Structure 1
Amino acid sequence: MFDTMTFTKIAASLCGALLVLLLGKWAAEELYHVDGHGEQAYVIDTGADEGAEEVVEVAFADVYAAADAGAGARVFRQCSACHKLEAGANGAGPYLHNIVGRAVETADGFGYSGALNAVVDVWTPEHLNGFLESPRGYAPGTSMGYNGLRDIEDRANLIAYLATITD
């Protein structure tokens, strides 16, 4: 019933059909390909631009003046996975005891990446705010893997809490 010649004819016809299909696809793409749509001929005004909210930039000093250290203690729970508050007790990150006003990269026994010295000398509340907002954006090359705190009130509350952890 099926000999070698019949099988060869069937296989050749399938391969030929596939070849015609692929060549037809290529020809259609070349024929109907558009390199851009150009400018829009008519724009419908929806009024979406009129009601856009303005983002008001608040100065960190104003937010920090009204910061709540108690709320900062709750925010610190995120930090406590890597940082300790006891002096000399390093975790995955350096200890944060007396961090506000302390020189950068001075936690005893912790191996720093060296990226912070290029950006900052002393941890002032303003420098801590910038670093906590986006550690890798503030000090490129830092080994801190945290993405940062986006809310300015949370950062101010956390810094106010850390300012209370002193001798």
Structure 2
Amino acid sequence: MFDTMTLTKVLGAFCGALLIYLLGAWAAESLYHTGPKGKGEGYAKQAYTIEVEGNDSSAEAEVEDGPSLEELLAAADIEKGAKVYSKCKACHKVNAGENATGPYLYGVVGRAVGSVEGYGYSGNLVAVADTWTPENLDGFLANPKGFAPGTKMTFSGLKKATDRANLIAYLDSLDD
């Protein structure tokens, strides 16, 4: 049936094909690897990140024990609010009618919730508030997903009450 030479050639072809397959898999893994690289090494770095403040319980305790929102708004600094807005500008515009990933923020203080034309809202925003009062904005900016479960806003929130007050004052100053 088969002589030894033919059997050797078939086995050699099979081993060669297996070797080429394994080398190709190794090369592809080296070029396109995105998972853990080895023991003790983490994942590949994310290409784009939005830096936000950490979520620690001591920051939440400060929020509850600090001055009231009215006092913070009275002492708010619009210039500092413009700097805090830099965390928002990746997804929001301040020009009227100019939506981005999120709705435009011009005239947001006092505006009806979910009322921007041409923007598809998600979640239960309308169910939790009627208008964007400073109090509602403060609650939403502190924890968007906690304030309006189901929202598609991925921002984790501003933990410092002074940052929120400064941002609300800045947004309120836009439509003057």
Q: TM-score, normalised by structure 1?
A: 0.66
Deviation at 1:65, TM superposition (A): 1.0
The one-letter code of the counterpart of 1:123 is W
Question: Equivalent residue for 1:103?
Answer: 112
Superposed CA RMSD in Å reads 1.3
Unaligned runs of 5+ residues in structure 1 are: 1-53
The one-letter code of the counterpart of 1:138 is F
| Alignment pair present for 1:71 and 2:76 | no
The one-letter code of the counterpart of 2:124 is A
Within the candidate set 133, 136, 148, 1:139 is matched to 148
| Alignment pair present for 1:149 and 2:153 | no
Q: What is the aligned length? A: 114
The one-letter code of the counterpart of 1:57 is G
Which aligned runs of 4 or more in structure 1 are off by greater than 4 angstroms?
none
Within the candidate set 114, 119, 124, 2:128 is matched to 119
Task: Please give the per-residue CA displacement for 1:31-57, whole angstroms capped at 9, x wherever unaligned.
Answer: xxxxxxxxxxxxxxxxxxxxxxx9533
Unaligned runs of 5+ residues in structure 2 are: 1-60
Name which one, 1 or 2, has greater alpha-carbon Rg: 1
Question: Equivalent residue for 1:166?
Answer: 175
Deviation at 1:114, TM superposition (A): 4.2
Looking at structure 2, the residues matched to 114 and 163 of structure 1 have their Cα atoms a distance apart, in angstroms, of 24
Identity of aligned residues (%): 53
Looking at structure 2, the residues matched to 114 and 134 of structure 1 have their Cα atoms a distance apart, in angstroms, of 14
Q: TM-score, normalised by structure 2?
A: 0.62
- Contact 2:92 2:103 (8 Å CA) reproduced: yes
Looking at structure 2, the residues matched to 104 and 143 of structure 1 have their Cα atoms a distance apart, in angstroms, of 15
The one-letter code of the counterpart of 2:89 is S
Within the candidate set 77, 92, 98, 2:101 is matched to 92
SS in 1 for 2:125: coil
